Chain A
């Protein structure tokens, strides 16, 4: 079977900074306080014409840098491009964060010494290496919506449909259609795609 390559895209001209995606994510996966797998940021705040908001999480990169630096090799990349990791193997060294262009990996503090715990990041709602939809998988990685054929919760919840996720071709088509509708202005690939997907 030929797998489609899954991608995220957030349309800055549609995002209204409602934080729906990050709240939906935190609730769906019951994330601990202080961890936001998805985060909405606003740049150029107050500058007319330049202010924009966008929603950021792990982009599930092509040739993912995080996977390249992990000293315990706990990452694995699914055939559909989703980048996942094994939290029981992870030692919380922080290297993946240093390598990541998007600041996606986060570290809840754990244990008596308050050391960095196992890394946490967006799974594109695809769970982890444990048995699909098992209690343990849900506890460690959150919901596995992909296995159930559902769209990741952030994109499903986005009221303006700024945040999209899907196979590369469909997402690119929507992107092109929107750029055309706006009169063809704007860059020729979505924000961040050059780094995440090397424009492939």
Chain B
């Protein structure tokens, strides 16, 4: 918690430095940019960004937006959801703290992702006030996500480390390709959830940092320039490319996460709202964890 607040304050501090210092983009550095633009020895990030944004980014986003839900729709029709009785015993798995942190992240994502889309397809929405508002919301809802991302990373870190169960889980894709209810090896989180954990945390932080760079635009961070060996404008180009590419991944797994919790496992979403998971659901989908809890006499 503290760390993320400090990070946030540091970013704000960075903004004030940005306005005070000499421009990193429109000052003397401008000549370097012009001379280096697209040259053999340069990073060629300008032409690269132009080509990717002009020809590919929007189409890939559209592909993910349609393709991933389409695959799940077929899955839902052919294999169908896993339904577990909701009257059986329940296990209290998520504390109030867990749930609040998760809900803040969830609400942030529910704003960040649709608004991100509105920006990507800004011409479809006609630009102007509406898309500008989406852009502002996209930035504003990054703040709550920034505050909870570190606490969320810490509270689930232990459960999200990969182990041998995960290899087996991946080999049968978590049993989601069959209708059978056979116990599946998995701890508190299965391999799919772990994958989402890492994408949401590491990918999320990448999105925050690359987004912040685009937001502040003209800041000066000697350390970052030296580390990356890039001029400010090239850093921004790299940030824009990264934000889009990481965006595809975050988006694809976000849709998956929503599908799994809302549709594929009927009612699983209740566990993060109330904190209780159905015993049946544990027994089948998280059998390693279930065994452990049983040994501890929790059931």
A and B: real partners? yes
Contacts of B179 in A (CB 8 A): none
Q: Report the Cα distance A120→B33, complex, angstroms.
A: 19
Q: Which of A69-77, A128-136, A165-173 contacts B (4 or more CB under 8 A)?
A: A69-77
Contact assessment for A113 and B139 in the assembled complex, using a CB-CB cutoff below 8 Å: yes
Q: Which residue of A41, A91, A114 contacts B127 across the interface (Cβ within 8 Å)?
A: A91
Given contacts A41-B30, A92-B135, A107-B217, contact A71 B54 (CB under 8 A): no
Q: Report the Cα distance A68→B214, complex, angstroms.
A: 19
Contact assessment for A101 and B127 in the assembled complex, using a CB-CB cutoff below 8 Å: no
Q: Which residue of A89, A90, A94, A101 contacts B236 across the interface (Cβ within 8 Å)?
A: A94
Q: How would you classify the secondary structure of chain B's contact residues: helix, strand, loop or mixed? A: helix
Q: Report the Cα distance A104→B244, complex, angstroms.
A: 23
Q: Which of B1-55 contact A (CB under 8 A)?
A: 15, 25-28, 30-31, 33-34, 37-38, 46-47, 49-50, 53-54
Contact assessment for B50 and A99 in the assembled complex, using a CB-CB cutoff below 8 Å: yes
**Nearest Cβ in chain A — how far from B170, in angstroms?**
37
Q: Report the Cα distance A107→B215, complex, angstroms.
A: 11
Total residues of chain A contacting the partner, CB 8 A: 39
Q: Which of B94-130 contact A (CB under 8 A)?
A: 119-123, 125-128
Contact assessment for B127 and A90 in the assembled complex, using a CB-CB cutoff below 8 Å: yes
Contact assessment for A97 and B236 in the assembled complex, using a CB-CB cutoff below 8 Å: yes
Task: Please indicate which of the listed interface residues A71, A93, A99, A101 has the most CB atoms of chain B within 10 Å of its own CB.
Answer: A71
Contacts of B30 in A (CB 8 A): 39, 41, 56, 102-103
Contact assessment for A39 and B26 in the assembled complex, using a CB-CB cutoff below 8 Å: yes
**Nearest Cβ in chain B — how far from A176, in angstroms?**
23
**Nearest Cβ in chain B — how far from A197, in angstroms?**
14
Q: Which residue of B34, B53, B214 contacts A101 across the interface (Cβ within 8 Å)?
A: B34
Given contacts A43-B28, A94-B217, A95-B53, contact A71 B46 (CB under 8 A): no
Interface size class of B (residues with CB under 8 A): 35 or more
Contact assessment for B135 and A101 in the assembled complex, using a CB-CB cutoff below 8 Å: no
Q: Report the Cα distance A39→B46, complex, angstroms.
A: 21
A80 contacts the other chain (CB 8 A): no
Q: Which of B31-87 contact A (CB under 8 A)?
A: 31, 33-34, 37-38, 46-47, 49-50, 53-54, 58
User: What total of A-B pairs shows CB separation below 8 Å?
Assistant: 114
**Nearest Cβ in chain B — how far from A155, in angstroms?**
19
Given contacts A94-B217, A113-B136, A116-B215, contact A99 B49 (CB under 8 A): yes
**Nearest Cβ in chain B — how far from A190, in angstroms?**
13
A65 contacts the other chain (CB 8 A): yes
Contact assessment for A115 and B123 in the assembled complex, using a CB-CB cutoff below 8 Å: no
Q: How would you classify the secondary structure of chain A's contact residues: helix, strand, loop or mixed? A: loop
Contacts of A56 in B (CB 8 A): 30, 34
A106 contacts the other chain (CB 8 A): yes
**Nearest Cβ in chain A — how far from B131, in angstroms?**
5
Contacts of A36 in B (CB 8 A): 26
Contact assessment for A91 and B37 in the assembled complex, using a CB-CB cutoff below 8 Å: no
Task: Please indicate which of the listed interface residues B120, B122, B139, B140 has the most CB atoms of chain A within 10 Å of its own CB.
Answer: B122
**Nearest Cβ in chain A — how far from B28, in angstroms?**
6
Contact assessment for A92 and B132 in the assembled complex, using a CB-CB cutoff below 8 Å: yes
Q: Which residue of A88, A92, A195 contacts B34 across the interface (Cβ within 8 Å)?
A: A195
Q: Report the Cα distance A65→B140, complex, angstroms.
A: 29
**Nearest Cβ in chain A — how far from B29, in angstroms?**
8
Q: Report the Cα distance A101→B126, complex, angstroms.
A: 27
Q: Report the Cα distance A91→B255, complex, angstroms.
A: 27
B199 contacts the other chain (CB 8 A): no
**Nearest Cβ in chain B — how far from A128, in angstroms?**
14
Interfacial residues, chain A to chain B (CB-CB below 8 A): 36, 39, 41-43, 56, 65, 68-74, 86, 88-95, 97-103, 106-107, 111, 113-116, 192, 195
20 A-B residue pairs with CB within 8 Å: A36-B26, A39-B30, A65-B47, A65-B50, A71-B58, A71-B120, A72-B131, A73-B122, A73-B127, A93-B122, A94-B214, A97-B25, A97-B236, A98-B237, A99-B50, A101-B46, A103-B34, A103-B233, A111-B136, A113-B136
Q: List 8 other contacts, CB 8 Å, given A41-B30, A90-B127, A98-B50.
A: A36-B26, A42-B28, A69-B50, A72-B123, A89-B128, A91-B128, A95-B240, A103-B26
